[in-house]
């Protein structure tokens, strides 16, 4: 058990990421006290029932008051309003961070509300599941995953190091990245793949009407993986695409070009093109495994029903 890195941590939004943070902080004794707030009364009631944090508060400001770390764990589109609400109670020397999947838009929405003397250090843990809500979290979520810290202009070095210690204590490896680069990298590795999965499952759903449920009945592993991703929270992903528009459209444009090239190769019977392409992509998968990055998604059946106890 380590000494607490922060005396009081406030988690605003009590879904998958916040609940996993609460479990991971408790596992390693990283916080003296954890307070929490979620917008819906139902979520707050569930959080109280399962003892998720030490104190569930009725407002975000109440949870943030007296905290030396406040972490915004709400959908990206809600970050600015929450920052505005907690701003009056933030004490000088406190740190505000977030876990949003997009960084440039979050910084633009949150930074203007951060008072003088309060540190703002955005972050993004690259770990998740398709589940949501306060029951879906688990202490191991961040183990051996990356957490990207995205310092803003004049971010305090000591405060950044302290936040890094917290994430390392929760099991993550920490790297530092600037916001624009973060958003482009994530558009490639996370955002566009989610859009493709949503699309593929939508296509299959249309087809299902034609084939009378054969698509579901005979769905093989590849498609099942798509359905897991496409079961992810609609609010979260709507906000991701609306706020990482530029980078996602850039990657989607490239994706479409390559898809057309493959489509043409199939139509013209260009086996060499297909074989070369698949050889290249196979090498990427092998590279990921050799680098030890293939941390298989953990057990998702942790009593969480998607949408349960959340607004």
Ligand X SMILES: O=C(O)C(=O)C[C@]1(C(=O)O)C=C[C@@H](O)C=C1
Contact residues for ligand NAD, defined by CB under 6 A: 12-18, 38-40, 43, 60, 73-76, 78, 81-82, 99-101, 125, 128, 132-133, 233, 236, 310-311
What is the DSSP-derived secondary structure letter of residue 136? S
3-state secondary structure of 178: coil
Distance, in Å, from the CA atom of 87 to the CA atom of 53, rounded to the nearest integer, reads 22
Q: Could you tell me if 136 and 160 are in contact, meaning their C-beta atoms sit under 8 angstroms apart?
A: no
∠ CA 41-44-47, nearest 5°, is 155
**Residue with token string 């992810």:** 232
Q: How far is the CB of 126 from ligand NAD (least distance, A)?
A: 7
User: Of 20 and 43, which has the nearer Cβ to ligand X?
Assistant: 20
**Cα dihedral sign, 140-143-145-146:** positive
Q: How far is the CB of 202 from ligand NAD (least distance, A)?
A: 20
Distance, in Å, from the CA atom of 273 to the CA atom of 261, rounded to the nearest integer, reads 9
Give the contacts of 99 (CB within 8 A, at least 6 positions apart): 17, 18, 21, 71, 72, 73, 123, 124, 125
**The entry of ligand NAD, ligand X, none that residue 25 binds, CB within 5 to 8 Å by partner kind:** none
**The entry of ligand X, ligand NAD, none that residue 219 binds, CB within 5 to 8 Å by partner kind:** none
**The entry of ligand X, ligand NAD, none that residue 74 binds, CB within 5 to 8 Å by partner kind:** ligand NAD
User: Of 48 and 273, which has the nearer Cβ to ligand NAD?
Assistant: 48
Q: How far is the CB of 129 from ligand X (least distance, A)?
A: 5
Give the contacts of 293 (CB within 8 A, at least 6 positions apart): none
Distance, in Å, from the CA atom of 220 to the CA atom of 116, rounded to the nearest integer, reads 55
User: Of 95 and 129, which has the nearer Cβ to ligand X?
Assistant: 129
The residues facing 254 across adjacent strands are none
* Both structure tokens of 174: 């920490």
Q: How far is the CB of 81 from ligand X (least distance, A)?
A: 20
Q: How far is the CB of 20 from ligand X (least distance, A)?
A: 12
User: Of 129 and 248, which has the nearer Cβ to ligand X?
Assistant: 129
Q: How far is the CB of 48 from ligand X (least distance, A)?
A: 27
**The entry of ligand X, ligand NAD, none that residue 297 binds, CB within 5 to 8 Å by partner kind:** ligand X
Q: How far is the CB of 205 from ligand X (least distance, A)?
A: 20
**The entry of ligand NAD, ligand X, none that residue 82 binds, CB within 5 to 8 Å by partner kind:** ligand NAD
Distance, in Å, from the CA atom of 247 to the CA atom of 72, rounded to the nearest integer, reads 23
User: Of 10 and 12, which has the nearer Cβ to ligand NAD?
Assistant: 12
What is the DSSP-derived secondary structure letter of residue 114? P
| Binding residues vs ligand X (CB under 6 A) | 101, 126-130, 190, 297
**The entry of ligand NAD, ligand X, none that residue 141 binds, CB within 5 to 8 Å by partner kind:** none
């Amino acid at each position: 058990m380590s000494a607490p890195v922060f005396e009081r941590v406030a988690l605003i939004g009590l879904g998958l990421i916040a609940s996993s943070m609460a479990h991971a902080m408790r596992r390693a004794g990283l916080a003296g006290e954890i307070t929490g707030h979620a917008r819906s009364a139902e979520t707050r009631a569930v959080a109280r029932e399962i003892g998720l944090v030490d104190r569930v508060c009725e407002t975000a400001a109440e949870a943030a008051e007296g905290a030396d770390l406040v972490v915004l764990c709400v959908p990206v589109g809600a970050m600015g309003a929450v920052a505005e609400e907690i701003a009056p109670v933030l004490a000088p020397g406190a740190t505000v961070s977030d876990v949003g999947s997009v960084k440039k838009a979050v910084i633009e929405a949150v930074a203007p509300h951060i008072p003088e003397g309060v540190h703002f250090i955005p972050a993004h843990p690259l770990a998740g599941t398709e589940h949501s809500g306060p029951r879906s979290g688990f202490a191991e979520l961040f183990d051996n995953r990356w957490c990207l810290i995205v310092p803003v202009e004049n971010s305090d070095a000591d405060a950044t190091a302290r936040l890094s210690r917290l994430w390392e204590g929760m099991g993550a490896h920490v790297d530092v990245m600037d916001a624009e680069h973060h958003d482009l990298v994530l558009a490639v590795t996370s955002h566009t793949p989610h859009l493709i999965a949503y699309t593929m499952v939508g296509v299959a759903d249309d087809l299902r009407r034609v084939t009378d449920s054969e698509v579901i009945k005979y769905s093989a592993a590849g498609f099942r993986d798509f359905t897991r991703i496409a079961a992810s929270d609609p609010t979260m992903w709507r906000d991701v695409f609306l706020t990482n528009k530029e980078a996602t459209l850039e990657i989607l444009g490239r994706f479409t070009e390559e898809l057309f090239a493959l489509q043409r190769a199939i139509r013209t019977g260009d086996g060499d093109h297909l074989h070369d392409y698949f050889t290249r992509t196979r090498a990427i998968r092998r590279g990921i495994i050799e680098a030890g990055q293939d941390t298989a998604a953990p057990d998702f059946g942790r009593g969480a029903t998607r949408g349960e106890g959340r607004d």
